[in-house]
Structure 1
Amino acid sequence: MSPQGTGESWEDDAHRVALVTGAAGGLGGCIAGRLYDRGYRVALTDLDAEAAAAAAAELDPSRRNAVGLALDVRDKEAFVRVRDQLTGRWGAVHVLVNNAGQSKVEPLMRISPESFDAVVTTNLNGTFFGCQVFGAYFAERGYGRIVNIASLAGQNGGTATGAHYAAAKGGVATLTKVFARELGPHGVTVNAISPGPQDLPVVRETVAPDRLAQIEASIPVGRLGRPRFIADMAVLLAAEHADAVTGACWDANGGLYMR
């Protein structure tokens, strides 16, 4: 069932609503901004409610087409609350981007049970809960787009991140396939994007310059990835006419991993 079947028109951009998790800044903020630029009404959610609200206000000072909301992706019921808030505000949700994540660089043999659980719960459980709650909602409506942000670390085992992060992101890629198979017959596509190292402020702030230079030198194209391009990939996968793509994982790693 297409959006037109519910009385909505894709010619009217105001009818498209997207939710992006972990969107107070970084890659999530970039994705939310690109969706907004393309005419979506956008909900920027984050564990930091104030930062999410500030990011939304920067996008749209009128607050008509962008809103910042609190969302702890580790809590399934939090997704339910946000879904209800958005349907009450804008009538429907069409796109979910599961971007929220947590990364730690820790020696493999020194990762504590608590640290492993914290990273996996945010990255993997958060994606699972989002896909569950919004997958069921989209399936009931007969239409939806889910885009999960995976990682190169989940494909090659990680070289600059912790094992917990790499394991969780590998799980995100697998969950993408599982939900794609389940939801495909109901007009819902589920895809993943797997970025390599990105040129983000947090990267330049936390990685020592000499180490960053080594990372860039190891990338075949010779530079960190552009977050805006990852955002463009998300916009394309969220498109109404992207119905032939589901269960896919699109790579953007500068040639670090080829298959």
Structure 2
Amino acid sequence: MRFLRGSICIKNLENVSNVNEAKEAMLDAKPFLDKLELEWNDFGPNNNGEEILAGLRPHENLKELLMINYNGFLLPSWFSNPLCKLSSIYLQSCHHHHILTPLGKLRHLKSLIIEDMYSLSHIGPEFVGFPSLESLAIKDMPSLIYWSGFNGGFPCLTTLDINDCPRLRNLPSFMNTNLLRCLNISRCPEIRALPDDGLPVSLQALTISESNLIRDRCRIEEGEDWYKIRSIPKIEIDYVEISWEMRRF
């Protein structure tokens, strides 16, 4: 099985009893495996997720990782070292997980999707680094209230999607994201304003939908944040594109 290639999906991990049983998969001895999907049953027992995940350490050549219904609170150390080729991560329904620190250490990570992580209430300064990340999506976060900023990280970020965060009150500062081109905000009704320092001049497309407070602040001419967005080439608010003819300078 050392020469297994392509992708592999391991399901029902709640049935794995201990770390030694997890190690029997010998994922770290499969150098030709590009994509790994690890899935727990959402209704399974919740007592040893961290231990099992620690035993499922993949080979450093892995390029794509999907993790669904992980029931642990923390990520193992192998998330940051030595996965030097990992370029894509998708975390879905990791309901007990609330610390994102190790992810920013992945030097070649280009795409990160975090979805349905309902224990996460705050994204703080520890969510930093990401020297190669180009696309970030934060989706379906019912408890997320505050995002404190990028703090000098994300130098290569070009696309940011923030969707279905009903309690999120603010957007992070984009001061150092000089390559950001697309910003999409959807169904985030509590976001009150754009950042005080505005949006990066590199931004080419802004989409705001079903987010009433920030929508009102971005109304043509009348909104308090209109001056921050009026020069963006493509603006779409509540599924209506704001053409150049509709803008007055």
TM-score (norm 2): 0.30
Choose between structure 1 and 2: higher strand proportion. Answer: 2
Choose between structure 1 and 2: higher helix proportion. Answer: 1
* Pair member with larger Rg: 2
TM-score (norm 1): 0.29
